[in-house]
Structure 1
Amino acid sequence: MIELVIDQRRRDIGGFEVGRVLPQAGHRMVGPFIFFDHMGPKAFEAGFPRTVDVRPHPHIGLSTVTYLFEGQITHRDSVGVTQEIRPGEVNWMTAGRGITHSERFEDLRAHGGTMHGIQAWVALPDALEETDPSFAHHDAADLPTYEGGGMWARLIAGKAFGAEAKVKTHSPMFYAHWALEAGAKAQLPAEYPERAAYVAAGEVEVDGHTYGAGKMLVFQAGEPVLFTAQTPAIVMLLGGEPVGPRYIDWNFVSSSKERLEQAKADWRAGRMKLPDADHDEFIPLP
């Protein structure tokens, strides 16, 4: 039932730690998901320095989805969007042929608080890798939810559990958030060929084994998966149809190594537009 267990790898990104889960050497993607970072949890005191912010940087060939449990982020991008990102909302940025954006912690800097969430990247299918860049925001109230039997669930994007989120996606996929009470049981159906679950908090039992926070369970195809919460738990579920092999280099994703080199050259030469509201600094190509 469980094909692979991936441990998060903690790393400091300049003021707080993230747990990198995907890509992983033995399993680079789950469906179209090619990148998965667990941000925090990190408690900030008011007045922390701006060096913690994520300065403007570029993407191609993917969509980013930022989902918060706690905290707030100010998003600014090169298509002219400035958007506050709050817990439970979906913020879906499609890079396509190229976008730049920054992520600022202005509300936390002013008031203090905890940053805790997930940043995931979804690779675009071949025919849409060079689509126009765009950004979509969806309030928490716009997303399908379910509650019962000690489980609360939200479908963040895609189709699953008999529901469909309003978020525009580009290939068959699902992404969901479960909050489980201790003793609650919940089942992940077998409708997609590639599926995984990430334990963001607490402990769950799957197939007779207990898994704690920071573990991603990658499942074999074809069978439903039963979860039993050993403690109160937060579980993120993800997967879908594979989009084919992808290369990743820094913040760029593509089916073509040559396209990655072109994107790096474009960023190095200053040919990618910076956000209108945030153009005084940027992250250089490593």
Structure 2
Amino acid sequence: MTSPISLTLSPTTHDLGGFRVRRVLPQKARAMVGPFIFVDEFGPAQLDIGRDLGVRPHPHIGLATVTYLFDGAIDHRDSLGTFQTIRPGEVNLMTAGSGIVHSERSPPAEMARGAAMFGMQTWLALPDALEDAEPAFENVGADALPRIEDTGVSARIIMGTLWGQSAPTTCHSPTIYADVMLGAGGSAPIDSEADERAVMLVDGDGALDGIPLEPYRLYLIAPGSKPRIDSITGGRAMLLGGGAFGSERHIWWNFVGSTNERIRAAADRWNAGDFPMVPGDDEEFIPIPEVPLTRGRT
């Protein structure tokens, strides 16, 4: 019997003092899955009372960030003047284009009881025609995202079209992204025919066509395969992917680009203070580290 899994990627885990971040993309073995060029899972964890997530203002170019929470809340601010508290089941899509700066903080009410931390942050590479697009931001509420209900299964479509329904979230290139919640004995087909697809188990137990999934690993689904995902006692998995990206992308620190020259220019702009400020959060920033945690083909 042919395996539905073509490649398995193990995460690199970073302990940020109170919670862990597990990064499965980018890796040498695989740079992208569809437009997804960066995939982080964080938590579950609860910060000490009074502690702020405290991600200070930092820049991006050439990508769109997608933040999706299972638990907790995050205050997003950006250089467009956006202020948005993101909560579980919603999606924040921030399109960097030619350049944007943002910060991510814990809301005061969360800090007062110990901020919960559990969710996903992914980056989508922008196609050539949109690398220099005007920055943009959108929040799509949980009620606006299609929910697929079946016996033992509840799936929320975050981006793209799955199981015959489409999310209203902007897609800059062909993209699929879904939160699949399985009850005990639950099962669902992965019916998308996207060029590239992958699954990550984030809670409980799960399997693809009977092959057990280990938490936080990224399992790439073989082209043409239409496996079922199921669970014995209950689980939760993220399905992601989309069209194969048409051109090479480089990634370094918070920058994605079609050329290294674009990335070097963005780094020079940040060092020179030429990116816009974040209204309401303009007293500190993250300097470019000597050895960034995010490095790819540069």
**Shorter-chain TM-score range:** over 0.9
Contact 1:143 1:165 in 2 (8 A): yes
Contact 2:59 2:101 in 1 (8 A): yes
Give the RMSD, CA atoms, in angstroms.
1.2
Does residue 283 (structure 1) correspond to residue 286 (structure 2)? The answer is yes
More displaced stretch, 5-14 vs 144-153: 5-14
Q: Following superposition of structure 1 onto structure 2, how do residues 1-286 of structure 1 map, counting pairs within 5 Å?
A: 1-13=4-16, 15-48=18-51, 50=52, 52-106=53-107, 107-243=109-245, 244-286=247-289
Query: How many percent identity over aligned positions?
Result: 46
CA–CA distance in structure 2, aligned partners of residues 56 and 165 of structure 1: 29
CA–CA distance in structure 2, aligned partners of residues 32 and 14 of structure 1: 30
For residues 165-184 of structure 1, give each alpha carbon's deviation from its aligned partner in whole angstroms, at most 9, with x where no partner exists. Answer: 11111111110001001211
| Paired AA for residue 222 in structure 1 | G
Cα deviation for residue 207 of structure 1 reads 3.4
| Paired AA for residue 255 in structure 2 | F
CA–CA distance in structure 2, aligned partners of residues 14 and 270 of structure 1: 29
CA–CA distance in structure 1, aligned partners of residues 168 and 227 of structure 2: 26
Contact 1:201 1:212 in 2 (8 A): no
Contact 2:19 2:46 in 1 (8 A): no
TM-score, length-scaled by structure 1: 0.96
SS in 1 for 2:129: helix
Contact 2:19 2:117 in 1 (8 A): no
Contact 1:46 1:109 in 2 (8 A): yes
| Paired AA for residue 46 in structure 2 | A
CA–CA distance in structure 1, aligned partners of residues 244 and 112 of structure 2: 42
Long gaps (5+) in structure 1: none
Contact 1:202 1:212 in 2 (8 A): no
Cα deviation for residue 190 of structure 1 reads 4.2
Contact 1:190 1:222 in 2 (8 A): no
CA–CA distance in structure 2, aligned partners of residues 11 and 29 of structure 1: 20
| Paired AA for residue 90 in structure 2 | E
For residues 198-249 of structure 1, give each alpha carbon's deviation from its aligned partner in whole angstroms, at most 9, with x where no partner exists. Answer: 1111121223321121121101111211112133111000000122221000
Contact 2:148 2:163 in 1 (8 A): no
Cα deviation for residue 113 of structure 1 reads 4.0
Cα deviation for residue 152 of structure 1 reads 0.3
Contact 2:163 2:192 in 1 (8 A): no
SS in 2 for 1:39: strand
Cα deviation for residue 34 of structure 1 reads 0.5
